[in-house]
Structures are given as structure tokens and as C-alpha cells.
Chains A and B, each alone.
Chain A
Amino acid sequence: MTDDHGHHPQPPSDLEARTLALESLLVEKGLLTSEAIDRIVTTFERDIGPLLGARAVAHAWVDPAYKARLLSAPKAALAELGITEHQVEELVVVENTPATHNVIVCTLCSCYPWAVLGLPPTWYKSAPYRSRVVIEPRVVLHEMGLELPDEVAIRVWDSSADIRYLVLPERPAGTEGWAEDRLAAIVTRDTMIGVARPAVPDTAT
């Protein structure tokens, strides 16, 4: 903080100043309004996040017919749950099984199924993840706390085009009879990217 009794706020960082200058220019040019940006920020801070994908996964776990639809026609299946975000051109849901584990990356930028998971975490956008998970996925997953035996096949999907991917994780043992919202709570963002497995809390076992 400054030492002059707070009369002068801290100078904005270079990034804040550049952002402010750009927004002012664009508002002045009539290309956007600050209110429109407010709405986008609020939408992603409040409404669009991994809970959307988690609801679909939990529903698929309790309803085999829904699971089949989620895998064969994901957008229509999501719409059944009222998840109708339209920006994703094409969504593919890939299913983890005891024999196969799927993990998603975008090596060229950071493509991500934000309509069902919200905005990607920093690690997903980082150089270490983008560079390494394609060539040494087992090492990366091990570092992130997921051990995969060699007999489990691993499939890495580089979402290099307009298709976005969502992993349908395996339902863990010990969740028999759980209600959907309780199941959805263990379907974390990372389980739907493929870098974690849903875990049953110790207190529940």
C-alpha cells in the first residue's frame, strides 16, 4: 500500500490500465457497452460452471437410457436437463470404463467445453499441461494424483478443431442408492476433463 494515508489509490497495473483504455475506446466507437461485458462476467461467475456437466453425468449414472442418449446425441441430452447453451458447435462425450481412460487437452490454445464446465482452470491453459499430457499422459496424471495401471488403455483427445469433449467418468463403488444431487457433488470439473476420478468422501463409507 502507499504511505500517504490512502489519499491516492494504488496506480492501476499496466494490464488494468490497458484494459480500461481498450474498453473506453470500444465503448466510444460504439462496438460494445460496459453493461454487456458486466453481463458476460456475471454469467460465468454465477451461472455457467462444472455443475452443469456434473448434473448430466449424475443423471447418466442413474438412468442407463439417458446415458445412451448422452453418448449418442449429447446436445439433445443436455437440453433435456435444460442445459441449452448454444455456443458449442459440436460436443462429444467420451466414456471412461474399467478398460479405457479418456483425457482431454488442447495443445494449440485452450479449447474447452465451457458451455458445460465453465471457463477452464489455469493449469489446463498452461504450457506444462498442453505440452506434456499428449506425450507422457501417465506421468502427468500421476503427478496430478491419478494412478492408472498399464493395463488400462489411455486415450488422449487433442481438441484441435470445433469439437469439444466431455469425459463421462465411472461411477465409483460405494455410491449405490445415492440421490442425483449427492452424486453430482462428487463429479468434479477435473473428473470431466479426465485428470481425476470421482472420489467417495471418507465420511460416506
Chain B
Amino acid sequence: MNGVHDMGATDGHGPVIVETNEPVFHARWEGRVYGMMRRLRAAGLFNLDEFRYAQERLPPGRYLASSYYERWLAALETLVEETGAAISSEALPERRAETRFQPGDRVVTRNLNPRGHTRLPRYGRGRHGTIESIHGPFTLPDTSAHRAGRDVEPVYTVRFAARELWGERAEPNETMTIDLWQRYLEADAT
């Protein structure tokens, strides 16, 4: 979904503020929320993609106004309510994809704008890049977050020139890599 969580290259957020001697958890409740997430995920109440998507579904203003663990708490509440705190035994159908690309291949990212969950950032859509390395295979979040299947695909680290992503605003001598599932990519015929 095209949500405020997809923050790459958005402006207006201000300076990076670094807290010195930061504790692992700032309050007891943060640690409880962290631990609950880990336990519920391990127990199979939800998967990581569903958990991320539950955060992304927060209203945009609330997402931005919430701290990291506030978003986690809200996502846990959402998922516990939606599942009725019952673990589903339904097995998702698994589909495996052949490896289509090799390091050095030129690719272009698809201009996908799904209403649901995706891990293709907006700033990286419709851009030309080069396959740097192959990883996984890993389960595609786009279907996993919706319990619509387990699509096990290669993930590629794709390298982009800064100018391809940022145009004239690109800083000198920068390259970016984004880790992308195979179905986010097409061969670059140009």
C-alpha cells in the first residue's frame, strides 16, 4: 500500500535526533510489547508480514505520531482482535519460482501500486538497475501478509545509480541497493 510507512526520500521530517546512552527499552511496557510480539509470532498467531501490514494500516496521522513500540502495540491489538486470539491451522499453498536473473543482468522495477502489503518501496518503482547478488529464496510478503499463499522466490540485491533514483538532487558518488523479490523485476530490454 502507498502508505506513510514507505518513507524513503520523503521530505519534512527534520533532523536525525540521536539520544546518548539510550536504554534498550525506555519503559517497562516497551519490553512487554517486544516480548509479546516475539512470542505470538513464534506461536503462529501471525507472521512477520501480517505484523508489518497491521502497522501500515494505522491511519497515516496516527502512524507518524506514534513511537515505534506504540505502533507495535497497536498492531498487536489489531491482530489479536482480527484472529480472535486463535491460531489458524490452515496451511498456505506453496508456490516456488525459478531463478530468472543473474548478477550483472540489467533489470527495471515494475510500477506496482498494490492496495495491500508490498516491500517494493515507492522510490524504487519503474527504475533501471543492475542485479548485484542473489539471495533466498524467501517468502513473498505481498501474498504472505494476506494469507494468500507462500510464494517462495529469489530475492535480488539490485544496484541503482543515485541519479536514476533522485535525478538532479542526487549527491555525488552515491549508489543505492534495494533488496527486491523476483516478481518486482522485469528484464531491461533497453
Contacts and interface: CB of A to CB of B under 8 A. Distances in A.
Interface of A: 13, 15-16, 18-20, 22-23, 25-26, 29, 31-32, 36-41, 44-45, 49, 89-90, 92, 107-110, 118-119, 121-123, 125-140, 143-144, 150-163
Determine the interface band of chain B, counting residues with CB < 8 A from chain A: 35 or more
Contacts of A129: 16
Interface string B124-152: 10000000000110100000000000000
27 contacts: A15-B29, A19-B33, A22-B80, A25-B85, A41-B32, A89-B138, A107-B123, A108-B52, A109-B52, A123-B17, A125-B68, A127-B13, A128-B16, A128-B17, A130-B7, A131-B10, A131-B13, A135-B165, A136-B171, A137-B174, A138-B172, A140-B16, A156-B175, A158-B178, A161-B155, A161-B179, A162-B135
A53 B45 CA distance: 31
A77 B153 CA distance: 26
A128 B13 contact: yes
B135 A37 contact: no
A143 B15 contact: yes
A45 B70 CA distance: 19
B76 interface: yes
B39 A40 contact: yes
B91 interface: no
